[in-house]
């Protein structure tokens, strides 16, 4: 378990960027790399993912996909093809995500998948999810805990 404290959105984005760089430098597995981001609304999950996407080399603007549930971005380079940003806030359970081809997405080792509100689809999550918990400490201060 790793713990970080951020005191601004820029620090949160930088933490996301560094996390992406570390993932790009890891040895790939047989399935997608999956991140599960837990925390209250406004806790910093999307801000973290903005930096994360930048660390992957993605130039597109990253916004919360709450209303569309899933967004796909192409990752430049050779090792990974796609970054999926999934927001499960509006889902009832894992059946909803399975209808979007979730099993195929997480089977592909060339994908990186970030899931906000992973607890909504707990039964559909693969083993080995990198769980990242965001906690309010103060107005701009957040505690971020990584469980790998």
Domain count within the chain: 1
Could you tell me if residue 65 is inside a domain?
Answer: yes
Tell me, what's the pLDDT at 61?
Answer: 81
Structural domain range at position 88: 31-147
Tell me, what's the pLDDT at 1?
Answer: 78
Could you tell me if residue 48 is inside a domain?
Answer: yes
Its pTM stands at: 0.92
Helices (H), the chain: 9-24, 45-55, 94-98, 102-107
Could you tell me if residue 95 is inside a domain?
Answer: yes
How far is residue 133's CA from residue 61's CA, in Å, rounded to a whole number?
23
Could you tell me if residue 66 is inside a domain?
Answer: yes
Could you tell me if residue 98 is inside a domain?
Answer: yes
Tens digit of pLDDT at every position of the chain (148 positions)? 799 999 999 999 999 999 999 998 887 789 999 999 999 988 899 999 999 999 999 988 887 766 678 999 999 987 899 999 999 988 888 888 998 899 999 999 999 999 999 999 999 999 999 999 999 998 889 999 999 7
Could you tell me if residue 8 is inside a domain?
Answer: no
Under 8 Å CB-to-CB from 116, ≥6 apart: which residues?
A: 37, 45, 46, 49, 64, 85, 86, 87, 88, 89
Q: What is the CATH number of the domain that holds 55?
A: 3.40.50.300
| Maximum C-alpha span of the chain | 40
Could you tell me if residue 13 is inside a domain?
Answer: no
| CA distances to 64, 118, 138, 146 from 143, in Å | 20, 18, 10, 10
| CA distances to 23, 25, 95, 109, 140 from 1, in Å | 16, 19, 30, 24, 23
Residue 91's closest CA among 64, 70, 112? 70
Could you tell me if residue 92 is inside a domain?
Answer: yes
């Amino acid at each position: 378990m790793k713990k970080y404290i951020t005191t601004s959105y820029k620090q949160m984005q930088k933490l996301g960027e560094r996390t992406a760089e570390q993932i790009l430098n890891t040895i790939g597995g047989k399935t997608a790399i999956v991140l599960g981001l837990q925390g209250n609304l406004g806790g910093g999950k999307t801000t973290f993912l903005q930096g994360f996407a930048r660390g992957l080399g993605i130039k597109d603007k990253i916004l919360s996909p709450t209303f569309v549930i899933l967004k796909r971005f192409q990752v430049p380079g050779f090792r990974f093809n796609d970054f999926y940003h999934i927001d499960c806030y509006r889902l009832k359970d894992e059946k909803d995500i399975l209808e979007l081809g979730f099993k195929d997405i997480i089977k592909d080792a060339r994908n990186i998948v970030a899931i906000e509100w992973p607890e909504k689809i707990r039964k559909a999550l693969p083993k080995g999810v990198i769980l990242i918990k965001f906690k309010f400490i103060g107005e701009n201060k957040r505690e971020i805990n990584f469980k790998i």
